[in-house]
Structure formats: structure tokens, C-alpha cells
Amino acid sequence: MAVETDPVKIMKQEVGKTAASRVSSGAIVGLGTGSTTAYAIESLGNRLQSGDLKDIVGVPTSFQAEVLAKQYGIPLTTLDAIDRIDVAIDGADEVDPQKNLIKGGGAAHTREKVVDSLAAEFIVVVDSGKLVDRLGSTFLLPVEVIPMAVTPVMRAIEKLGGKPELRMGIKKAGPVVTDQGNLVIDVKFEAIDNPVELEKTLNNLPGVLENGLFVGVANTILVGEIKDGKPTVREIA
């Protein structure tokens, strides 16, 4: 097995490991989506294999998370079969000083919001580049829409002051399709001054399933940084 030398990847691994270390035996764990969260899932699998962790089950937020969990030997369950989620580990595309998030770069934000919001503790794993003073500064806001409603929803978003664009696939002809079979509109707002109200307003548009604003959901932010060429992890509680 090759030893990882890329400091950014090492830093993501360390953040993922730190998050996985917060999980106790017997826990029901929300398994998020994305590159940093993938390392947390791998670390959970390693802890199970070594016997350091026992009797956990995972609730995946995406097909990617499901595949990784199976690969690393983490038993899976569904929301129909459980009455709680003890901890969820997931990434974010932006984190503001109030621990509000923009998520959805991987088009999994609808299932992520369901799982992360149900968790007694939601741990966010990011690198320092994801920290912003105000949401919408560096990342477009994803909105999941049922296919028939794309055009009217885009018109409604324009009236709200947003600049909507249908997300297109990479190495795929046509738009990105979510795990629910819907489409994603990425929206640029000049300023998101009130994330609470914008989240509600967007979700009230007919045809919108969910948007990528996660307001008041995160408990702990684990931030990976490179200092003096070495990966470090700091916590924002």
C-alpha cells in the first residue's frame, strides 16, 4: 500500500480520522458524502475491523456513502428501521461564523439534510478554505428541483435576486441527476444576509425539493489546516 505524501490529502485523512474517533460503540451514524467524509467512513471501517469499535450501523446520505460503507464493512440501516441517529459526519462547501452551511456540491444535500438534521450531534469536516465570513461568498447555492418545474423555479429565483444556472454533468452529456431523480439549479446571490429566511423562501417555491442552506444544524466543525507543512485539526464548537 502506497504511503500518502500529498499534504492536502493527509490533512483530509486526519480530519476524517478525528471525526471517526468521536463515534462510540453501539452508535447509529449518519454517513455523509464527499472526499473528506470518505476518509471518515474509511476510518470507521478500520476501527470496526480492529475491534476498537463495535456494533455501529450507518445511515448513508448518498449512493457514494452506501458504496464506501459496504467497501469498508460498515453495516447499514434505513430511517424506517431506527428511532434515532446518534452522530452524523458530513462535509460542507461553506461554513460561516454562526456554523451555518452551504452544502450540495455533490448534489446529495436533500438526503444529507434529512440525516444530519436528525442526528443528536452533527460533526462537519472541512478544510480551512471552506470557512467564509458570509454564505454565498465562494460557492453557489444548490437547489434541487423536480424536472418539470425547472423553468418556473428559475424564473422565481431570478425575482428573488438570484442568478440560476442548471448544473450540467462532467463526462456526461446533459444535466446532473440526483439520487432522487431530480435536477440541480446552482444559484449565485450577491449576498445571503438572512440564511434562515432564504432557506424557507426557496423551499416554498412549488417544485423545489430542498436547497443547500443548512441553518442551525451543525454542532461541531472540525477544520483541517496545513501549518508549517504539517496537517493539523482544530475544532470550532
Residue 141 pairs with which residues in a beta bridge?
187
In this predicted structure, what is the pLDDT of residue 72? 98
pTM of the model: 0.94
Using DSSP's 3-state secondary structure scheme, residue 144 falls into strand
In this predicted structure, what is the pLDDT of residue 229? 80
In this predicted structure, what is the pLDDT of residue 4? 63
Query: How far apart (Å, rounded) are the C-alpha atoms in residues 37 and 127?
Result: 11
Please give the positions annotated as active site.
112
The answer to whether 212 and 86 are in contact (CB under 8 A) is no
In this predicted structure, what is the pLDDT of residue 1? 45
In this predicted structure, what is the pLDDT of residue 142? 98
Residue stretches of the chain with pLDDT short of 50? 1
In this predicted structure, what is the pLDDT of residue 52? 97
Return the half-sphere exposure (C-beta side, CA atoms, 13 A cut-off) of residue 206: 4
